[in-house]
Amino acid sequence: MVENLFESKPHRIAAAAVAIAYCAVQTFQWYAFSHMPSTSDPAQELLQGAEPLNIARAVLMLFSFFGLIYLFLVCCGTTFRRRPTLSILSLLGFFTFCVLEIQLRSVELFYIFLRLPAHYHAATDAASQAWLLRIPAVFAEVQSALYFPLGLSWLFGSVLLCFALGGRRFDWLARLAFGLNAVRLALRMLDVYVVGPRFDTLYSDLYLPLVFMTFAPMAAWLLLHEPAGGQSSSRRPLQRSTGHRNRDLGAL
């Protein structure tokens, strides 16, 4: 059936692989940031964006969000039979998050990191260079503003999916993953948009461990998840012989 498509084992394995790959990409991003020299000079910071290590990081992060669309589609597909409305709404939240991330990271990669340094090198006067150096700061302000709907949509999707999950054997793994993500996003948004960014250093230190604590349980859940129809499949011959319609008890 169509509603069972993304609950199938091949899709769940592929989605789990995406979750693991996302952890690997985030680890590479941490490695790249730790090996790029820190600088307070705007010109050096601009030119550093075109370094191969940073470009590789930006490319991997950009394409990882296309993979997350598929991952979240499979996650929401596994809960569709139980709570179709919540599953669709949570998918809309996840999709909004991914689209905003793709847009921001595309601008960052193709304009800020690739095109802007070339324009800076080509500038012939100090006024033009000073104007170009202001663009990354403006982009950072716009990015910070857009992170509000971005984070809110991811928070929205995570909370709804927690409610859409049932009480099957390994659903607690998904509830842990998405519940932790929702708490993290709520605290981060309160820190940035309400009380002011006071815990940036702490958040930076905890960011990668929190990524693993979110996506590793998600991958485990997808691999261990038992489709709702799995337990009733052995009863189908008996039900057909007695004329009764096959009922999916796992979805009740």
Any domain includes 245: no
Residue 109: inside a domain, yes or no? yes
Check if the beta carbon of residue 65 is closer than 8 Å to that of residue 124.
no
Establish if 239 belongs to a structural domain.
Answer: no
Instruction: Specify if 243 maps to a domain.
Output: no
Tokens 């990015």 belong to which residue?
A: 143
Tally the domains of the chain. 1
Contact 174, 221 (CB under 8 A): yes
Which percentage of the chain shows pLDDT scores above 90?
A: 74
Does position 102 have pLDDT exceeding 90, yes or no?
yes
Domain for residue 209, yes or no?
yes
Domain membership of residue 25 as a residue range:
2-226
What is the pLDDT confidence band of residue 38, given thresholds at 50, 70 and 90? confident
Mean pLDDT across the chain: 88
Higher pLDDT, 123 or 197: 123
pLDDT the model gives residue 201: 82
Count CB-CB contacts under 10 A for residue 194: 7
Task: Cite the beta strand spans of 39-78 per DSSP E.
Answer: none
Q: What is the pLDDT of residue 198?
A: 81
Q: Is position 214 within any domain? A: yes
Q: What is the mean pLDDT of residues 72-97?
A: 94
Quote the pLDDT of residue 143.
95
Q: Lowest mean pLDDT: which of 20-29, 90-99, 192-201?
A: 192-201
Q: What is the pLDDT of residues 43-65, one digit of tens each?
A: 999 999 999 999 999 999 999 99
Cα radius of gyration (the chain): 22
Beta strands in 146-209 (DSSP E): none
168: Cα within 13 Å, side-chain hemisphere: 25
What size, in residues, is the chain?
A: 252
pLDDT of residue 4: 62
Residue 84 lies in a domain: yes
202-243 pLDDT tens trace? 888 899 999 999 999 999 999 998 776 544 333 344 444 334
Is a pLDDT exceeding 80 seen at residue 86? yes
Question: What's the pLDDT band for 148 if we cut at 50, 70, 90?
Answer: very high
Residue 251 placed within a domain: no
